[in-house]
Amino acid sequence: MSGVKTGDGFAERRTIDRIPESERHGFPRDQFTLWFGANLQITAVLDGALAVVFGAEAMTAIVGLAVGNILGGIVMALHSAQGPRLGLPQMISSRAQFGVRGATLPLLLVILMYLGFAATGTVLAGQAMNLLLGASNPAVGMVIFGVLSTVIALVGYKVIHIMGRIATVISILGFAYLAYQLFHQYDVQSAFGQKPATVATFLLAVSLSAGWQLTYAPYVADYSRYLPSSTSGGKAFLYTLFGSAIASQLAMTFGVLVAALGAKFLSNQVGFLGTLAGQGAVLVYIVIICGKLTINCLNAYGGFMAILTTFTSFSNQTRISRGARAAYIIGFVVLSVLIAVLASSDFLSAFKNFVLMLLAVFVPWSAINLVDYYLISKEKVDIPALYDAAGRYGAYNWTALGCYVLGVVVQIPFLNQPLYEGPIAVALNDADISWAVSLIVTSLVYYVLQRNAKVAPSEMILEVTAQG
C-alpha cells in the first residue's frame, strides 16, 4: 500500500487497540478507491432497481437516489473523519457515548447485519463464480468465494485497500461496457416519463440510497484509522463521501434504467448481466466477484471487529492474539457461507427483509456518535478509558441508551419496510422518512440531555499517565 513504512509486515496485527503513530501510513485518497470499489457492484444496482419497482418514475428515482446518496454519505463520511484522529475501530470509539458495556446493545444488531449482508452477497457471488468456472453445484462457487473472503480479511487492512483499488478499475471497465450494451440493445430514452413523478416515490428513492450509505457507519472508520493523525479530517471526509456516493449513484442509476426498461433483472440478477454482456460475460462475472469480494471482506472484517468489541467490553482487554483474531474471522465467514449454502431462497428473502429492518437501529447510533464527538466532546476522547468499565465513561451511559431506544421507537410510525408499514408511511403514500425523523429527533434530544454532562476530557488523552 502506498506510504507503508519499510519493515512493516503485510499481515495486520492490530485489532481493537489504537494504532500508534509509528504504524500509521497511507493517504486520504485511499479512502476513495476503497469505497468506490465497494459500491460499484451488483447489489447497489438492485437497490436502484427497487426504486422503480416500488413505483418511482425513472428520472424521479435517479434524482432521489442522488439526494439520498449525498445525505447518507455525509453522515457516513463524518464517521470516517474520526479514524485518523482516534486511530480506533469505529465501534470502540462509540464506548465514549454508550459506555464500555453499553455499546454492546447496538453491536449485537451490527453483527446480525454483517452476517445477513455477507450471506446474501455470497449467494450472488457464488452464482457468478459458478458461471465463470462452469460449475453446476451452487455450493462450489459460494465456498470458493468464502475462502477468498477469509484470506483477504485475515491479511487485513492493507490488502483490503489493495482489493478496493483493483475492484475500482475492474468495475469501471465492466460497468462502462454494460452501459454501452444497455444503450445498444435498448431504447433507453423510453425509460423516462412512463408514470407521473410524485413526492412519495421521490422520498422513497431518497430513503433507499440514504439507508444504503448509513449501513457503512458502524465500520467506516476501521479503514481510515491507519492514516497519520496529521491527516486532514476534511480530506478523509471528502474522499470517503465522493468514493461512496459517486460509485453508488452510478450503480443505482444503471439499476433504475434496467428496471424501467422492463429487463428481467430482478428474477435473475447475475444471469441477466451475463446475457446483456454477450461475449463480454466473463468480464462481467469477474466484475461481480470483485465487487462482492470487496464488500464481503468489509463485512467479515467489520463483523469480527464488532464481535471483539462486544466480548472485550467485559474483560477490559485492549488486544488479542493473532490466533484468536484468525478464529473469529474464519468462524464468521464459515457461518455466512453455511447460511448461503443451506438456506432456501424463501429464507434468504425473509432474512434480507429482516436485515433491512435492522437499518432502523443504525440511524440513532450515528446521530448520538456524531453529535457527541463533534458538538459535545469536540473531538476530545480519553482513549484508555474506552477499555475500562470503571473509568471516565463507565459501564453504561443510560442517557445515551435511552436516546438510542427513543431514536428507534420514533421511526416505527414512519417505516415502510417489507415486514412492516407504519400508519404515517401509509398516510404519506408509502413514503419512508423514518431515517430523517430519527436523525433529527435523536440528535436534538441527546444534545439537550448530554451537553452539560462534562464527561469528555479537556484535551485528547492517548495513554494512561503516571499517578502521584
pLDDT of amino acid 112: 84
pLDDT of amino acid 352: 60
Check pLDDT > 80 for residue 466.
no
* CB-based contact 212:47 (threshold 8 Å): yes
Check pLDDT > 90 for residue 237.
yes
pLDDT tens figures, 64-96: 999 999 999 999 999 999 999 999 988 899 999
Residues 6+ apart with CB under 8 A from 107: 91, 306, 309, 310
pLDDT of amino acid 428: 83
Check pLDDT > 80 for residue 318.
no
Q: Which residues of 95-116 are buried (b: 16+ CB within 10 A; e: fewer)?
A: bbbbbbbbbbbbbebbbbbbbb
Q: pTM value?
A: 0.90
Residue 356's pLDDT band (boundaries 50, 70, 90)? low
Q: Containing H/E element for 240? A: helix 233-260
Calculate what percentage of the chain has a pLDDT beyond 70: 94
Which residue has cell 469536540?
A: 378
CA distances from 410 to 24, 162, 208, 372, 406 (A): 41, 41, 19, 20, 6
On average, the pLDDT of the chain sits at: 89
pLDDT tens figures, 391-433: 999 999 999 999 999 999 999 999 887 778 899 988 887 778 8
pLDDT of amino acid 93: 92
Name the most confidently modeled range: 3-12, 113-122, 160-169: 160-169
pLDDT of amino acid 11: 67
Residues 6+ apart with CB under 8 A from 412: 420, 422, 434
pLDDT of amino acid 25: 87
pLDDT of amino acid 361: 85
User: Looking at residues 18-24, what average pLDDT do you find?
Assistant: 90
pLDDT tens figures, 276-287: 999 999 999 999
Calculate what percentage of the chain has a pLDDT beyond 90: 61
Q: Which residues of 368-394 are buried (b: 16+ CB within 10 A; e: fewer)?
A: bbbbbbeebbeeebbbbbbbbbebbbb
Looking at residue 393, what DSSP letter applies? Answer: T
Check pLDDT > 80 for residue 8.
no
How many Å apart are CA 247 and CA 243, to the nearest integer?
A: 6
How many Å apart are CA 96 and CA 385, to the nearest integer?
A: 8
Residues 6+ apart with CB under 8 A from 225: 19, 83, 84, 86, 87, 88, 89
Q: Containing H/E element for 416? A: strand 416-417
Check pLDDT > 70 for residue 465.
no
* CB-based contact 128:348 (threshold 8 Å): no
pLDDT of amino acid 243: 97
Check pLDDT > 50 for residue 4.
no
How many Å apart are CA 156 and CA 151, to the nearest integer?
A: 9
How many Å apart are CA 462 and CA 383, to the nearest integer?
A: 5
Residue 355 or 16, more confident: 16
Which residue has cell 424501467?
A: 260
Q: Containing H/E element for 289? A: helix 281-312
User: Looking at residues 188-200, what average pLDDT do you find?
Assistant: 92
How many Å apart are CA 54 and CA 75, to the nearest integer?
A: 25
How many Å apart are CA 407 and CA 50, to the nearest integer?
A: 26
Q: Among candidates 43, 467, 391, which has minimal Cα distance to 247? A: 43
How many Å apart are CA 169 and CA 96, to the nearest integer?
A: 38
How many Å apart are CA 16 and CA 219, to the nearest integer?
A: 12
